Every structure is written in structure tokens, then in C-alpha cells.
Amino acid sequence: MTLSQRPLDLPFTEFKLLVHLANRRGVPQSWQELLRTVWGTTDLLGGRDVVKSAIYRLRSRLASIPGGTNYLRTLRGVGYLMPDLPADQP
């Protein structure tokens, strides 16, 4: 996968997480929703920490790309989202 013409090597789960958020750009996703759709489980025991850790790792990888820190947002008490990009951005 490339981002801003730079290679981005992601583990499968982080790739699925990024794709899920990109497909729902601008729409907050709760950790429960992410656990169900990305991990394919409804077993929520410890699920919040699993999602938080994956978001943290994904953010760390995206930070290596210029502007990569703009791709994920945390909405405290709500969830996570990928913001809509301005019209002049791809």
C-alpha cells in the first residue's frame, strides 16, 4: 500500500482498520463497532484495549508519512474517525 507516494507496510489487521475507517470517512466509529467489523468478534472482553492498541500502532506507522497524523482522529467518549479530506486533496 502507498500513502502520499510512499510505501506503507501494514499488518493485515491494521490494514483492515484503515480501510474500514476510510470507507466510513467522516463518520465516528465506536470501539465496539470496530471490534465487530475489523476483528469479526462480538466478544467484548478486553476489546477496548485491543482497539486502542491497534489505533496507536496504526497512528505510529502513519506518522512516518508527511501529513500522516491527519488521517486518524479520536473523539473522546465517541470513538475514532478518518476526517473528510478537503476538496483539493486526493
Per-domain residue ranges for the chain? 11-78
54-74 average pLDDT score: 90
Instruction: Give the per-residue pLDDT at 86.
Output: 52
The phi and psi torsions of 53 (rounded to 5 degrees) equal: -65, -40
Q: Which three cell numbers stand for residue 52?
A: 486502542
DSSP 8-state secondary structure symbol assigned to residue 49? H
* Dist. CA 90–CA 79, nearest whole Å: 24
Local structure of residue 76 (DSSP, 8 states): T
Average pLDDT over every residue of 14-21: 95
Picking from 50-54, 58-62, 66-70, which range would have the lowest pLDDT averaged per residue? 66-70
CA 1 – CA 6 distance, rounded (Å): 8
Higher pLDDT, 90 or 72: 72
